[in-house]
Copies of this chain bind each other. A is one copy, B any other.
Amino acid sequence: MPRRPDQKQWIRRKAAVLWAKQGYHATGVLELCEATGLGKGALYYHIGSKEELLFDISIGSVEKLIADAEAALATESSSAEKLRSMAEQLMRNISDDLPEWIVFFGEYNTLTGSMRKEVMERRDHYEALWLRVVEEGQATNEFRETDPIFVKGLLGMFNYAYLWIRHQGTLAPEEIADIFCDAVFRGMLAPALPAALEGAP
């Protein structure tokens, strides 16, 4: 039986849904067999090992984000437009791959050795792309100077959505990203009224 990519993808989703609900450690291989309809041998043929499956789930969504962000960065858009694209991609990705993100954030301590190292490196690489677009915008005076740690706050605005996005109402992920970008780009503070207008009727 060949390892068809779509079947691997399908097994990953089934496992992510189970693990997101009840945790990686609490879920036995037999439950994975039940959920996928595969015997133990066939399941292991596809996944390698339970930890490899966790690795594949954890790194899959990050790689997709990196590819999309690198495409956005390669355009001729302004830094703000690039950042908005990356924000929309991230919110869409969190919404579409929610079980995978719940597993990622819940089990990032579970992976060991080189698999753990690779996931952390790719996650850091993704964060570096956000830092790059902010620093590009600062170099061209499009953005104000900020401490580099602000990028962690910026990413947190979106990443934290893995905990609430399924409970929000009818806004599309891209609409939420736009609301966040609009607020952060122009700032929360209302512009000061020109002195001449103060006290005007």
Contact = CB atoms under 8 A, between A and B. Distances in A.
Nearest to A25: B26
A141 to B, nearest CB: 5
A160 B163 CA distance: 10
- How many of these chains are in the complex? 2
A: interface residue count bin:
35 or more
25 contacts: A21-B109, A23-B25, A25-B25, A134-B188, A142-B190, A143-B189, A143-B190, A144-B186, A144-B187, A144-B190, A146-B182, A146-B183, A149-B168, A149-B179, A150-B179, A152-B168, A153-B158, A153-B160, A153-B179, A156-B156, A156-B157, A156-B158, A156-B159, A184-B188, A187-B188
Q: A interface, by DSSP: helix, strand, loop or mixed?
A: helix
